[in-house]
Amino acid sequence: MSESWIVGINPVEGALNNDAERVREVLVEHGQRNPRVHELAEKAKALKIPVHHRPREQLDRVAGEARHQGVVALYQAPSLAGEQDLPDLLEKAGSDALVLVLDGVTDPHNLGACLRSAAAAKVTAVIVPKDRAVGITPVVRRASAGGADRVPLVAATNLARALRALKDAGVWITGLAGDTEQSIYTIDMKGPVALVLGSEGEGMRRLTRETCDFVAKIPMPGSMESLNVSVATGVVLFEALRQRSER
């Protein structure tokens, strides 16, 4: 486990609402008049979390380039889950298992946005390769708008092995790529499924792609050849939800 600073009103609120036991202290800017900051301070006190009022300069140092809005919180981040945790997660989800696999998404803003969509779609788990994982950094947490607290992030030592474990558990795997004719709208996503997206530059790695049951694309009749990975994640996750609502 490691400690990091959560910066800004919404990220601090998300941590207090969803993972308060890991918040070690809250710092509030001296003279801060924003009522939301005062509400957060009172919530932290009610949860027996130390609240300290500090000069703006101290919050500036802690926040770095991020905009702290008068409040920061020291957070003890949990270790990422591992491949050994997948069977329990899948068993609990049953036929509703919906797994997101991000192969090479290392930009913290993109990872945070993907976690936000994953939380909104009630994803069972998000799997990333351990050697290319960003982890839950302050930037990821801020971009996730609370999603980082609501969906398990699994760091797989061997991604291809983790995908094979999904298949052995009855999960059908669809990878997204632009160089295929099959559309995501023709893939059956009503049962236990995993959706795999690669990095924007390189896409899925070869071994990852070969492990997929299907490879499909998001049809784009316009002049753009690709979407930002976090946008593509939202599109395919909510197509899966649309199909599942028709079961």
Binding residues for S-adenosyl-L-methionine: 198, 218, 227
Q: Going edge to edge, which strands form the sheet with 71-77?
A: 2-7, 71-77, 23-29, 51-54
Q: Going edge to edge, which strands form the sheet with 98-103?
A: 153-156, 125-129, 98-103, 193-198, 172-176, 214-216
- Binding residue numbers: 198, 218, 227
With beta carbons less than 8 A apart as the criterion, state whether 211 and 160 touch.
yes
Tokens for 136? 């839950």
DSSP class of 203: B
Cα distance between the two ends of the chain: 41
With beta carbons less than 8 A apart as the criterion, state whether 12 and 42 touch.
no
Among 214, 208, 237, 243, residue whose Cα is nearest residue 126: 237
Instruction: Give the three-class secondary structure for 193.
Output: strand
Interatomic CA distance for residues 214 and 174, integer angstroms: 5
| Pairing assessment for the beta strands 125-129 and 2-7 based on DSSP bridges | unpaired
Tokens for 172? 């059908």
